[in-house]
Amino acid sequence: MAWIGEIDLGTKPAPLLSGKMVSLTIDGEAIEVPEGTSIMRAAALMGTTIPKLCATDSLEAFGSCRLCLVEIEGRAGYPASCTTPVMPGMVVSTQTDRLQQLRKGVMELYISDHPLDCLTCSANGDCELQDMAGAVGLRDVRYGYEGEHHLDACKDASNPYFTFDPAKCIVCSRCVRACDEVQGTLALTVDGRGFESHISASQDEDFLKSECVSCGACVQACPTSALIEKEVEKVGTPDKAVVTTCAYCGVGCTFRAEMRGEQLVRMVPWKDGKANRGHSCVKGRFAWGYANHKERILNPMIRESIDQPWREVSWDEAITHTATEFRRIQAKYGTRSVGGITSSRCTNEETYLVQKLIRQGFGNNNVDTCARVCHSPTGYGLKTTFGTSAGTQDFDSVMEADVMLVIGANPTDGHPVFASRMKRRLREGAKLIVIDPRRIDLVRSPHIEASYHLPLKPGTNVAVLTAIAHVIVTEGLVDEDYVRARCDWDEFSEWAAFVSQSERSPEATEALTTVPAADLRAAARLYATGGKSAIYYGLGVTEHSQGSSTVIAIANLAMATGNVGIEGAGVNPLRGQNNVQGACDMGSFPHEFSGYRHVSDNATRKLFEEAWGVSLDAEPGLRIPNMLDAATEGSFKGLFVQGEDILQSDPNTHHVAAGLAAMECVVVQDLFLNETANYAHVFLPGSTFLEKDGTFTNAERRIQRVRQVMRPKNGYADWEIVQLVARAMGLGWSYTHPSEIMDEIARLTPTFARVSYAALEEHGSVQWPATDAAPVGTPVMHMEGFVRGKGHFVVTDYVPTDEKTGPRFPLLLTTGRILSHYNVGAQTRRTDNVAWHPEDRLEIHPLDAENRGIRDGDWVALRSRAGETTLRALITERVAPGVVYTTFHHPETQANVITTDYSDWATNCPEYKVTAVQVSPSNGPSDWQESYRAQAERSRRIEAVAAE
């Protein structure tokens, strides 16, 4: 681990407009830089640092501090080097007596209104103001503190993670510009004029109450300790760093994990990170404290039956017991009576090992993953139409998009760092279409307004997309040259004839979808003719009984308009979990080996049989819902679950509980005693992403390194634990490092052929497929043609879900995520992120609330055919009348008690987004919720005592 301080070149690189180079002389040295480069950056590139305060290379130059003055031969005055572009033949001096004198004067003014408490300041040694005072040779200040000053200003410590001390603020506005340019929230302003100028969050509120979303961009930009992480104040400035990848969402932001000794002090987004380009959200930046949470289980535990208390045991005993139990069950009930679930939170290497354990060790294909409940329709739909189960673009591609169509996704909450990129492009003038039952933030936010928001009725995605296709085909907006050259024309013709039928027109389907026909027509025209159009979608597309059909309908639209295989366009699933793409790539599905090759394919099976030295099952195994069905029927008896809480995340909680309760051995490997662990017989403590080496693959197929920052508190990284189980089952595994696992993956998986830890060190990341011609990978897929050959149009008939509203259940419930929490909240609930979202609330339209006598904040009962829960109401016009919405981050709510077990016809992905419900006033939490809370509180207390 070494210190990886990042170099700040002062201003952004020149836009690649002309490609021309400019020659000039700086301090007597000749240099050539691209046209449009600032003098400051040119100097920095040759190793000369010009003093600066308001400039930093992540922001547009502003030119306010006047510290970076230079002299230019033949030009009067002292121009600011940050805002002055280089010109051919320019002769620049950065250090002269006059410049020294001017800079000293500027610094004197700053320092005269700054507390001189450097020795006790938390940023001592990591402060640009301090550095600049040294750089300009400031030794004393002529002005005293007698006059007006800001030194008594009150500190704002309301944000859980950082403080704002106006006394230390030099009003350089870097924070304001970071919030505007990088994050796009525009939460900060410089209020007042002249001496009265000060930084204000929203309307001079404290940070916690303001519009601030706690992304940390302002803290990162601040050159003093005016904005500083509380952890730095507590622990001290870091002295070394290691680059690793966030373990929350599919954006895959990379961070410098900055340490002081063995202690993690802060996570700073890495400027060279190709997915995040130096930005972060509140989760990756700040919500890592769960790794040290007292509720973490660090010792293995076993019990004979689930009504007994847990017994702590040695790792040896736990591993031997696990292996013995699986072998016993198989001997008694047959080879296919056991299976396992891989985790999208774990590394590629770990998911690969779990599926290998099941295929090689259990001798069957009963392996599935949490992608089953999120993006399995993406895999099916995109493989069917394009030939590859992955998104087509990299994130950078959005900066070339002219039109963005966002359907069933809420990027500002679910994929916030990518949402900031989208917002930047939208502020530059790209157009936006949002198709969502809810008015998500993107529909209208500062300087952004969607051209069209189509607020469809939940469950009618296919009808809406078909109506869009109807407009495109019947109004002659198809890119016929593209379709003829790239797709199967006969299939296209069949699809075009289908969508052209009058009953699929926007007018004919308006009553069904609730989308005004005129808006839909206009949106369709914009998508087809607005230039390069990119579709971004999320779980609002996949988690439906027609999830796969919707993905296919999206692909059809993109092919018909020529919007695949070019930068700025494409079909982009916004993946949920950090490694859901990787978990799918690694062969976590019951019908596929790594690289999406079917288990029935003899050549592929032979490859793995030779490598693993066993014969492999040619029959696809059971999916998660089938495992649970088989368990309740008595034929499935043992399950290995790594890093997944199926009791909370899978639909119809009662059915999941019944399935788990019917098994004889459930092994849970996780950080915390999760809800599934209530039904487990063995608990194997897991390790966090900070404690292991490996790789994650993000939503743009980018494979990035996860690097060990601290030693595993539980003793082993997750890959080591799986290896211990495999060895106890008699498999001769002998990996000494995850790089060896990746080497095996690369040997056996064509799309990973060029992937190795050495390649990742060299290139920073690799986007599969990586080939000899493209060793860093493929940012945009299908450029020369579709992976499957001809693009495959498929007719997608709209089939209404069986989940229907009626007099008993008149409203439709749809679910989603909020920025501050992640999935079932196991990690984020154990951080200060609860400050923003301490409970799940039910969003309900004012009309529906009034009809039921519900006021904002009231407890309400939420009932469906599957179950009932209680939560508090949030009255809002974000949802349309007839639609209610909630998040599912808190186990006390158990939103999945409500959801049914209807699922996607092709993949069994549950229909989370459509549940018919009734909402009525309630006196408070139901009995089971109260007993859950009491039980959770009891266990928390017991564990806290045990931890002490």
Interface ranges with ligand FES (CB under 6 A): 52-55, 63-68, 80, 82
Q: Binding-site residue total for ligand SF4 (CB under 6 A)?
A: 41
CA dihedral sign, ordered 872, 873, 879, 881: positive
Cross-strand bridge partners of residue 570: 534
Gap between the Cα atoms of 350 and 369, Å rounded: 12
Q: How far is the CB of 10 from ligand FES (least distance, A)?
A: 7
Region of 323 please: left (phi>0), alpha (psi -120 to 50) or beta.
alpha
Gap between the Cα atoms of 300 and 318, Å rounded: 6
Q: How far is the CB of 120 from ligand SF4 (least distance, A)?
A: 18
CA gyration radius, the chain? 29
C-alpha of 21 from chain center = 38
Q: How far is the CB of 570 from ligand FES (least distance, A)?
A: 39
Q: Which does 357 bind (CB under 5 to 8 A by kind): ligand SF4, ligand FES, none?
A: none
Closest to ligand FES by CB, 170 vs 646, is 170
Residue 18 CB contacts under 8 Å (≥ 6 apart), including other chains: 35, 36
Q: What is the 3-state secondary structure (H, E, C) of 28-74?
A: CEEEEEECCCEHHHHHHHCCCCCCCCCCCCCCCCCCCCCCCECEECC
Q: What is the 3-state secondary structure (H, E, C) of 202-237?
A: CCCECCCCCCCCCCCHHHHHCCCCCEEEHHHHHHCC
Cross-strand bridge partners of residue 862: 869, 919
Only one of the segments 27-35, 135-143, 243-251, 604-612 lies at the binding site for ligand SF4 (rule: CB under 6 A); that segment is 243-251
Q: Which does 63 bind (CB under 5 to 8 A by kind): ligand SF4, ligand FES, none?
A: ligand FES
Q: How far is the CB of 274 from ligand SF4 (least distance, A)?
A: 13
Gap between the Cα atoms of 848 and 174, Å rounded: 45
Closest to ligand SF4 by CB, 344 vs 563, is 344
Closest to ligand FES by CB, 64 vs 299, is 64
Q: Which does 68 bind (CB under 5 to 8 A by kind): ligand FES, ligand SF4, none?
A: ligand FES
Closest to ligand FES by CB, 70 vs 599, is 70
Q: What is the DSSP letter of 155?
A: P
Q: Which does 226 bind (CB under 5 to 8 A by kind): ligand SF4, ligand FES, none?
A: ligand SF4
Closest to ligand SF4 by CB, 68 vs 630, is 68
* E strand or H helix at 175: helix 174-177
Closest CA to 5 of 187, 238, 170, 209: 238
Q: How far is the CB of 441 from ligand SF4 (least distance, A)?
A: 13
* Options 179, 398, 528, 861; binder of ligand SF4; rule CB under 6 A: 179
* Options 58, 183, 412, 642; binder of ligand SF4; rule CB under 6 A: 183
**Burial (0-12, 13-18, 19+ Cβ within 10 Å), 603:** exposed
Q: Which does 55 bind (CB under 5 to 8 A by kind): ligand SF4, ligand FES, none?
A: ligand FES
Could you tell me if 162 and 228 are in contact, meaning their C-beta atoms sit under 8 angstroms apart?
yes
Closest to ligand SF4 by CB, 416 vs 686, is 416
Closest to ligand SF4 by CB, 38 vs 56, is 56
Q: Which long-range contacts (CB under 8 A, 24 or more apart) does 508-511 make?
A: 509/460, 509/463, 509/464, 509/466, 509/467, 509/798
- Quickly count: other Cβ atoms within 10 Å of residue 634's Cβ: 10
Q: How far is the CB of 208 from ligand SF4 (least distance, A)?
A: 10
Could you tell me if 162 and 175 are in contact, meaning their C-beta atoms sit under 8 angstroms apart?
no
Could you tell me if 668 and 674 are in contact, meaning their C-beta atoms sit under 8 angstroms apart?
yes
Only one of the segments 23-31, 136-144, 218-226, 879-887 lies at the binding site for ligand SF4 (rule: CB under 6 A); that segment is 218-226
CA distances from 627 to 341, 633, 634, 636 (A): 10, 10, 10, 6
Q: Which does 478 bind (CB under 5 to 8 A by kind): ligand SF4, ligand FES, none?
A: none
Tell which positions 152-171 bind ligand SF4, by CB under 6 A: 169-171
Q: How far is the CB of 106 from ligand FES (least distance, A)?
A: 9
Task: Determine the residue type at 516.
Answer: P
State the binding string over 272-301 for ligand SF4 (x if CB under 6 A, else -): ----x---xx-xx-----------------
Q: How far is the CB of 50 from ligand FES (least distance, A)?
A: 8
Cross-strand bridge partners of residue 259: 240, 264
Cis peptide before 769 (omega within 30 of 0): yes
Q: What is the token pair recorded at 481?
A: 């040259």
Q: What is the token pair recorded at 251?
A: 């954006």
Tell which positions 404-433 bind ligand SF4, by CB under 6 A: 415-417
Closest to ligand SF4 by CB, 159 vs 337, is 159
Per DSSP, the three-state class of 747 is: helix
* Options 9, 227, 564, 917; binder of ligand SF4; rule CB under 6 A: 227
* Options 111, 121, 123, 215; binder of ligand SF4; rule CB under 6 A: 215
Task: Determine the residue type at 729.
Answer: M
Q: How far is the CB of 129 from ligand SF4 (least distance, A)?
A: 8
Could you tell me if 913 and 459 are in contact, meaning their C-beta atoms sit under 8 angstroms apart?
yes
Closest to ligand FES by CB, 172 vs 471, is 172
Q: Which does 214 bind (CB under 5 to 8 A by kind): ligand SF4, ligand FES, none?
A: ligand SF4
Per DSSP, the three-state class of 811 is: strand
* Options 33, 55, 132, 212; binder of ligand SF4; rule CB under 6 A: 212
Closest to ligand FES by CB, 27 vs 868, is 27
**DSSP code string of 898-926:** T--S-B-TTT--B-TT-EEEEEEE-SSS-
Residue 578 CB contacts under 8 Å (≥ 6 apart), including other chains: 245, 246, 247, 248, 249, 250, 252, 344, 345, 689, 696, 698
Q: How far is the CB of 192 from ligand FES (least distance, A)?
A: 20
213 binds ligand SF4 (CB under 6 A): yes
| Residue with the shortest CB distance to ligand SF4 | 284
* Options 42, 90, 107, 172; binder of ligand SF4; rule CB under 6 A: 172
* Options 39, 80, 82, 217; binder of ligand SF4; rule CB under 6 A: 217
Q: What is the token pair recorded at 141?
A: 């200040």
Q: Which does 188 bind (CB under 5 to 8 A by kind): ligand SF4, ligand FES, none?
A: ligand SF4
Q: Which does 170 bind (CB under 5 to 8 A by kind): ligand SF4, ligand FES, none?
A: ligand SF4
Q: Which does 52 bind (CB under 5 to 8 A by kind): ligand FES, ligand SF4, none?
A: ligand FES
Closest to ligand FES by CB, 170 vs 313, is 170
Closest to ligand SF4 by CB, 182 vs 639, is 182
Q: How far is the CB of 166 from ligand FES (least distance, A)?
A: 20
* E strand or H helix at 355: helix 348-356
Gap between the Cα atoms of 742 and 844, Å rounded: 48
Closest to ligand SF4 by CB, 416 vs 459, is 416
Could you tell me if 590 and 365 are in contact, meaning their C-beta atoms sit under 8 angstroms apart?
yes
Q: Which does 665 bind (CB under 5 to 8 A by kind): ligand SF4, ligand FES, none?
A: none
Gap between the Cα atoms of 432 and 526, Å rounded: 9
Could you tell me if 180 and 420 are in contact, meaning their C-beta atoms sit under 8 angstroms apart?
no
Closest to ligand SF4 by CB, 417 vs 677, is 417
Q: Which does 898 bind (CB under 5 to 8 A by kind): ligand SF4, ligand FES, none?
A: none
173 binds ligand SF4 (CB under 6 A): yes
* E strand or H helix at 427: helix 416-427
Q: How far is the CB of 58 from ligand SF4 (least distance, A)?
A: 11
Which residues in this chain contact ligand SF4 in the complex, by CB under 6 A? 169-175, 178-179, 183, 185, 187-188, 199, 212-218, 221-224, 226-227, 246, 248-249, 251-253, 276, 280-281, 283-284, 415-417
